[in-house]
Amino acid sequence: MIIVMKPNAAQESIQSVVSYIENSGLNTHLSQGEEVTIIGIVGDKARLPAENLISFKDVDRIVPVTETYKLANKKFHPEPSTIQVGNTFIGPGSTAIMAGPCAVESEEQLMCIAKAVKKSGASILRGGAYKPRTSPYSFQGLEEEGLRYMQKAAKETGLASICEVVCREAIDAAVKYVDMIQIGARNMQNFILLKEAGRSGLPVLLKRGLCATIDEWLNAAEYIIAEGNPNVVLCERGIRTFETATRNTLDLSAVPVLKGKTHLPVIVDPSHSTGSYKYVAPMAKAAIACGADGLMIEVHNNPACALSDGPQSLTFEKFDRLTQELKPFCSLVGRSF
C-alpha cells in the first residue's frame, strides 16, 4: 500500500509515518514530488495496523497496491524515472539510441561500427560478448576479450556501452568494462541472475522474456530493484506467437501499457522482434510514435558475413537513413534527438 501525504506535509509528519512503518518491521520507499509525498510500504503488510495511519498528522489517504511489484510500480513513484548510463540518460524528453553489432567479432569490426553509429546519432554502443545462442555450435562470443574491445571502442568514440550478461562471472567482468548490463530475453526469469544484476551497481536493461506477460516482466524488474538497484530500463523485443512471417511478434502495445504501470523507462528493439532488416525502420518509427524512450538496433559493417543475426542487421547507410527519418517522429512526441 501507499500513504499519500497532504500537499506540503511537514517533514516531521512524514518522518513520524516512516518511523511507525519501520518500527513495525516493514520497509518504506519515499517519493517526494513537487507538492505531494508518497510513502510506499514494502513487506508483509499483515504486520502493520494500517488503519492507525489515517489518524497521523498530514496523512491524506491510504491506497492499496494490489500488484506484487512495488518498487517498480508507478503508484510508488508517479514521476517517470530517468536512468543515467555512462555520459548519457534514458528517460522523458530524450531519445536513447543503442546501436551496434549483435556480437563483438573483432577489435577492428567493433571500432568501425562504433564510429559509424556514433556519427549517425547513437548514444550507446551495444555489442554481445556472451552470446546465448540457440545452438551450442553457433558462435558463443569473445567473452572478456570482447568486453575489452567494447571499452576501447566506447572510449574512443565517447559512446556509453552495454553488454549482455548470462552468469555471475560475466557480471564480474562486465563491471570492469561497460556502463550498463543487459539481461536477455532467455534469462528474464533467471531470478538468481536478476539478484546478481541488482547487486552489480550498474544500470540494467531488462529484455522481455519470449513468453513473458507484462506482470511477470515487472516482477522480474522488481527482483533487481529490491536488491537496491533502481536503475532498470525495460526493453520490448517481441514475443512468441503463432505468426512466423516475423521472427517474433513486436508487442508495441506493451509500451503504453507499461507507461501506465511503471515509472521505469521503456525502449524497443525492432531488430530481434522482427528478425529482418526490412522491418526495422518502420517499427522503430512506430516505437517512438507510441512513447518509447529509445531503441536498440543491430548494425553491422557487413551483415551478410555477420557471425550472428546478419539478416536483421542494418548497414551503416540504412542506419544513417533511419536516424535521419526518426527525427520528425521524436520532435512530434516532444523528445530531443
Given Mn ion, ligand PEP, none, residue 237, with its beta carbon under 5 to 8 Å by kind, binds ligand PEP
- Residue of the chain from 309, 314, 322, 323 that contacts Mn ion (CB under 5 A): 309
Stretch that binds ligand PEP, among 80-88, 109-117, 182-190, 260-268 (CB under 6 A): 182-190
Residue among 29, 74, 207, 300 that touches ligand PEP (CB under 6 A)? 207
The single-letter DSSP state of residue 91 is: S
Q: Which is nearer to ligand PEP, 164 or 179 (CB)?
A: 164
Rounded to the nearest angstrom, the gap between the alpha carbon of residue 75 and the centroid of all alpha carbons in its chain is: 19
Q: Report how far residue 110's alpha carbon sits from residue 209's, in angstroms, rounded to the nearest whole number.
A: 27
* Residue 105 sits in the site that holds ligand PEP (CB under 6 A): no
Cell of residue 11, nine digits: 517533514
Smallest gap from Cβ 125 to ligand PEP, in A, equals 13
Q: According to CB under 6 A, which one of 102, 154, 170, 234 is a site residue for ligand PEP?
A: 102
Which among ligand PEP, Mn ion, none contacts residue 207 (Cβ within 5 to 8 A by kind)? ligand PEP
Q: How far is CA 220 from CA 97, 146, 287, in A?
A: 23, 27, 22
User: By rule CB under 6 A, what count of residues binds ligand PEP?
Assistant: 10
Q: What does the alpha-carbon distance between residue 208 and residue 202 come to, in Å, rounded to a whole number?
A: 19
Residue 58 binding target from ligand PEP, Mn ion, none, CB below 5 to 8 Å by type: none
CB 280 within 8 A of CB 312: yes
102 binds Mn ion (CB under 5 A): yes
- Reported in sequence order, the residue ranges of 237-333 that DSSP labels E, i.e. its strands, are 266-268, 294-298
- Choose the contact partner of 91 out of ligand PEP, Mn ion, none; CB within 5 to 8 A by kind: none
Q: Residue 263 has what DSSP assignment?
A: S
Please, which residues have CB within 8 angstroms of residue 43's CB and are 6 or more apart in sequence?
25, 26, 27
Residue 80 corresponds to which amino acid? P
Chain residues in the site for Mn ion (CB under 5 A): 102, 309
Chain residues in the site for ligand PEP (CB under 6 A): 102, 128, 164, 184-186, 207, 237, 269, 272
